[in-house]
Each structure stands twice: as structure tokens, then as C-alpha cells.
Chains A and B, each alone.
Chain A
Amino acid sequence: MSKFSWRKVAAAALIVPALGLAACSSDGGRAPEAANDGATGAVVTTPKINVALITHAAPGDTFWDTVRKGAEEAAAKDNVDLQYLSDPDGGRQAQLIEQAVDQKVDGIAVTLAKPDALASALKKARDAGIPVVSLNAGEDRSKELGAFTHFGSNEKLAGEAVGEKLAADGFKHPVCVIQEQGHVGLENRCAGVKEKVPGSEILYVQGTDMTQVQSTVTAKLQASKDVDVVIGLGAPFTLTILKSVAGANSDAKVASFDLNPELAQQIVDGNVIFTVDQQPWLQGYGAVDALWQNTRGGFEIGGGQPVLTGPAIISKENAAAVLEFAEQGIR
């Protein structure tokens, strides 16, 4: 059988590309490369500096693609050599910071999802005279840990913004779907919603398995018929929740946090009532640019206060304008 399999594999290896040439899709797929891809804009003439962007991103999380895009665009404009690193584990993220200090980078942009784990590594950076900005998470600890500014959206405020809008629209019983149990930022979002709509509930799902996300949300909707709105905490999860609502024949509406092109389209089409964007592109761009500005003229953007990048509410009224940028991967 093993010999036979080799032959099969070889045959398939020949047949598949042949089929591929024969069976082209007339719709969709990769768009032809744009003519002016990689356009060369003006770049500052200050000497090249090295910046490390160190996040707590889990591998494969689309949100961080957008942050990184913003950071890369700022780096391109500011003549910055950008090094992107990430590890969801607090201890290992701290080691990445120490490595950056060892490399004597000119600036560090860091997310403070687990501030205590990073404290001693950040002290080393401070002692070495490396300027630090924080982004995305850890607004309240940013100053104390030595970052001169912070770029981000307060998760609790974002949650409250959602809760306020839901309350204004007359919703009484939201279900807030958390895809990663114990994630402080996600819990804060739902806590913010609950503050404004006391009848809200939390549902935990396993974010690494979309089929389980779908069936668990369906189960929830079948169990409690008084649910009037379901809130997804990330664009891919919200898109799956839409299928759950349809599958459970529920009348519940769907709201969301964060954004991707498909979600923007669903808002334009009226299937999702709104989403709260923390504008991650701005977080990446702002953090890298602030480090350059600091090197350039000793500027401290924000004047010691965090720079808020959100929450920006995207609903049917303004979704069409955002969709175009979402398709470029910057919103």
C-alpha cells in the first residue's frame, strides 16, 4: 500500500496543476497586482533609527496585521528600521524587550497586556536610555512603567460606548461572546457593556475552533429566547455569530468590536447593526511615529496623557466610507 500511495501522490501532483490550468474561476480570487504597488513617497532625511515593536499578539490574529501595517507605514516614512516581534506569554514578551535592549535599538514600542511581567525588562530599557511608548493595552500602567506616551483605546470605555448605544436603541438583554476566557481586555469590554445594560450576559466560546463558536452561540440562543442582541468581540467571530443567529432562527441583532472588510460589508448590508473600531492602524503608526518624533526633536506627544485611538463607532451611516479602507487592510 505504501508503494501504491507514492504512485498516487505522484499522479495527483501531475494532475492537480493540469486541472488547475483547465478549471479557472471567473470570479474572485487574487486581484492582479496594482500598477503602482510599492509607490515611493517622500522619506525624511534624518539618520536611520532602529525601532522594535513588541506585542502580545497570539500568532494568527488578524487584528495585529493592521497594527503592523500602520507601524510599517510610519517606519517607511520616518526612515526607521522596524523590527516586529510578538509573544502572548508575558515572561517571553519581557525577554524580547531585553533582547531589543541588548541590540541597543533607538526606541521600543510595546503592548502592556501583562504590565507586571514586563516591569523589570522595561526598567532595563529606561536605564539604557531607550525611549519607550506603549500601545493597545496597559493605558493605566504606561506612565509608571516608563513609557512617555500611550496609543490605544480604553477597552472599558469602548464597552461602555457599545452599552450606551445598545441602551439607546432599546436593547435589554445582550449576550457578550468572549472567545478567550481570562483575557482582561475582552472581559473589560463586556464589563463596560454590562455597566450600561445591566441585563447583559457573558458567553465563553473556544476561539480556536469556529465550528464550536458557531454551535455554542446557537445553543445559547436556543436556551434563552429573550436575548435581543449578540455582541462579537472580534470581526471573524462576529461573522460566525451571524451564522449562529440564522441557524437558531433567532430575531436577535448582532453588534461587534473591531473590523475587517467582510464585517464592514455586513454593516453596509444592514446585517450587523454597528461595530466599535479602536483603529489599530493608528496605534501602530502613532507608536512608531512618536518614537521618531522623540528622537527628532525630543517631542512627547500627548503631553504625558494617553492618546486615544478610539472608540470609533461604525454603523450603516458611515460603513460605506470605511469599507474601502478596510479592503486595503488599514481599517
Chain B
Amino acid sequence: MTNTLLTPPTAPKVADERVASKGAISTLLGRPEFGALVGAVAMFAFFAFVAPVFLQPSSFATVLYGSSTIGIMAVGVSLLMIGGEFDLSTGVAVISSALSASLFSWYFGTNVWVGVVLALVVSLAVGFINGWILIKTNLPSFIVTLATFLMLTGLNLGLTRLIGGSVSTPSIADMDGFESARSVFASSVNIAGVDVKITVFIWIVLVAVASWILLRTRVGNWIFAVGGDANAARAVGVPVIRTKIGLFMGVGFCAWILGMHNLFAFATVQSGEGIGNEFLYIIAAVIGGCLLTGGYGSAVGGAIGAFIFGMANKGIVYAEWNPDWFKFFLGLMLLLATIVNLIVKKRAETK
């Protein structure tokens, strides 16, 4: 520690690199999601080889569905991570959103769309509170969002039993507006004879919007700036507080979408669900090239990370491997994908 402090910091050459023109290939290699892309292609080829049923269009639609429910959240989580924070409350926040929509419209007997709007308010408020406490207290996001995670878990259980009398919500399938809400959040689209879940399209749209924000707008620059060095960003006039709170609210928005999907796909929600999923979203973002330290990454990367997870998760079933080893294979797949990602990134950086 002391030794490193004695050596004077060398002047960064970043400025030179930025103005130097790059070839198309090295630009591609330098993208954060490139390593994940290689990992995804390798995994796809692997499962196509060991389990031919994997290539069948209907199977692929299933893989995409499994990926999309991780991927929708991974969009918000990736952006938040680029902005230098992360969120442990995302898994239960999805269920909180679904519960508030379901319980509100059930208890007051309203059109379910009222519950849907209320859930959006709740989800954005959870994100806002996360960000606001983070800014006000200056605590690390690990502590703040861990606290939110615990509080939401307790609220989910406590309020659901208090309002509905059971730990799972009453069914709202027969209420007004359910069918129209289901067609928005949980329907399927038939493409060439294959039913593709609407979450897949929502996911793609979200990734496109997030990429546009990151790469083409001023807000995108702010996100990279606050993740890279918040103090430096503040010094050059980036609204750090607004950006960070906005990022948490973005995560809340994604949680709302996925929560609504859960609610309208299954009509009831069990209040204990969602715990542990926050790690999947973070894993997807990390595989996709987002750095845990912030300032680097992409929305597309998070999507590819979710896709890798979806392929591993479903591919093991298609390959009909011994289920006792399921979790082991899953872990191994994730580790390999991340290592491939790292190797490719390092090679790209040394070029």
C-alpha cells in the first residue's frame, strides 16, 4: 500500500487513445459485450451439438422466454452497474410489484389496471427510496439495498397475509381488465407456427432503448461518468444525484414490467418468491461485461449475459443430463462463459 503511493502516478494515455482512429475490428473487439458474445456463440454451438432438440424453433422460443425473464431485469441492473451501484433488492422488488397490483385491485375490487398503475408507482418509489437513501447517507449500495431487500421480503409476507389472509394472493383472473392486462404483459405472439412469449419482445425493446440512452444521449454520458468517478463527474457539472436516483428508478421500472408478467401469467403470486433472483440479474450483467466497479459495460452485454444463462439453464434440460448435477453444470457454464469473456476482453485491450 505505502509502496504504491510512493511511485508517482503516470500520466494516463487515455486521451490519446480516444482521438486515435480505430479499425472496425478493433472497435468490435473493444466493445464490453464482445467477450460475452463469443461465450454465447460457444455455448449455443455446444448445446446444438449435445442436444439437437435445442435447435428446434419451439425449443428456442422456450430458451428465449427463460432468458427474457432474467434479461428484462438485467437491462436496468446493467445500467445501474455502469453507473457504479448495484441492487440486491431486485428479486423481491419484482414480487413486491406484482403483490401490490394484485392485492390492491383485489381488496378494493377495482379494475386490475388501477392495480397495475399503483404497482408502477410503488416500484418507482422503491427505486427512488433506494437511490435517495444512498445519496443522503453515503452508505455503500450493498448495505442500502440489502436493507431494502430484507424490508421488502418482510413487507411482502406481512402485508399479503394481513390483506389476503394467506401467504399467496387470491386469484384475480376473474376481475375486470385481467384479460387486456394479460394480453399486454403475458401473451404469446405466433411467429411461423411458434409461440413466442411477449416478454421476449419487451426485453428486446428495453435493450434497444437502454442502448440508445447509453450511447446517443447526454444521460448516457452522465451514467458512464458517475460510474467512472462520481467526484470528477460532479466537478464537471454532471448531476450525480439525479443520475443515480434515476438509475435506481430504472431498475424499479424493469421490476414492474417483470412483476406484471408474473402476475398476469399466473394470476396469483406467492409472497415468498423472488428471493435469490437478484444474483441472477447481477450475474447476467457481469457476464455481459459490466464491471462491478462501474463506469464500463453495455445494455446489450447484459442481454447476452441473460441469454447465456437462459441457454445453460434450459440446455441442461434439453441435453437430459443427470439432474443431481444440474447446479454444478450451471455453475461451471457460468464460470467458463465469464472466463472466455475476460480472455477476449484482455486480448482486445492489449491490441
A residues sitting closer than 8 Å to B (CB atoms) are: 1-2, 5, 8-9, 12-13, 16, 19-20, 23-30, 58-62, 64-65, 181, 201-204, 206, 208-212, 214-216, 218-220, 222-224, 236, 239-240, 243, 247-249, 260, 262, 329
Contacts and interface: CB of A to CB of B under 8 A. Distances in A.
A247 B195 contact: yes
Given A9-B124, A20-B114, A60-B270, A27 B239 contact: no
Nearest to B128: A5
B280 to A, nearest CB: 8
Contacts of A58: 272
A60 B166 CA distance: 9
Interface of B: 51, 53, 56, 58-59, 62-63, 65-66, 69, 91, 104-114, 117-118, 121, 124-125, 128, 132, 153, 156-157, 160, 165-168, 170-177, 188, 195, 199, 239, 241-242, 245-246, 249, 261-262, 265-266, 268, 270-277, 313-314, 317-320, 323, 326-327
18 contacts: A1-B242, A9-B125, A20-B118, A23-B177, A25-B111, A25-B112, A25-B175, A26-B176, A59-B157, A60-B160, A61-B167, A208-B91, A208-B275, A215-B65, A215-B69, A219-B66, A222-B53, A248-B58
Contacts of B69: 209, 211-212, 215
A216 B266 contact: no
B106 A209 contact: no
Given A5-B249, A23-B113, A215-B65, A28 B166 contact: no
B168 A208 contact: no
B236 to A, nearest CB: 18
Contacts of B107: 29-30
Nearest to B163: A30
Q: What 9 A-B pairs have minimum CB-CB distances, sorted nearest first?
A: A60-B272, A29-B109, A28-B175, A23-B111, A28-B174, A25-B176, A215-B66, A211-B69, A1-B242
Identify which of A9, A240, A247, A260 gathers the most chain B CB atoms within 10 Å of its CB: A247
B99 to A, nearest CB: 10
B121 A12 contact: yes
Contacts of A219: 59, 62-63, 66, 314, 317-318
A25 B105 contact: yes
Contacts of B63: 215, 219
B273 A19 contact: no
Nearest to B109: A29
Given A1-B245, A25-B111, A262-B171, A216 B106 contact: no
A201 B117 CA distance: 43
- B-side interface mostly: helix
Nearest to A63: B167
Contacts of A202: 323
Identify which of A9, A20, A60, A224 gathers the most chain B CB atoms within 10 Å of its CB: A60
A189 to B, nearest CB: 15
Nearest to A236: B270
Contacts of B113: 23
B313 A1 contact: no
Identify which of B105, B109, B173, B265 gathers the most chain A CB atoms within 10 Å of its CB: B109
Contact of B109 (A1, A5, A30): A30
Contact of A5 (B59, B157, B245, B317): B245
Identify which of B63, B118, B160 gathers the most chain A CB atoms within 10 Å of its CB: B118
A181 B273 contact: no
A114 to B, nearest CB: 19
Identify which of A2, A20, A219, A220 gathers the most chain B CB atoms within 10 Å of its CB: A219
Given A23-B111, A216-B317, A9 B323 contact: no
Contacts of B266: 210, 236, 239-240, 243
Contacts of B313: 212, 216
Contacts of A65: 166-167
Given A240-B266, A260-B168, 17 more contacts: A1-B239, A19-B114, A23-B111, A24-B110, A25-B105, A26-B176, A27-B174, A29-B175, A30-B107, A62-B168, A202-B323, A208-B273, A210-B265, A216-B317, A239-B266, A243-B266, A329-B166
Nearest to B111: A23
A20 B108 contact: yes
Given A1-B239, A239-B266, A209 B274 contact: yes
Contact of B177 (A25, A262, A329): A25
A210 B270 CA distance: 9
B307 to A, nearest CB: 13
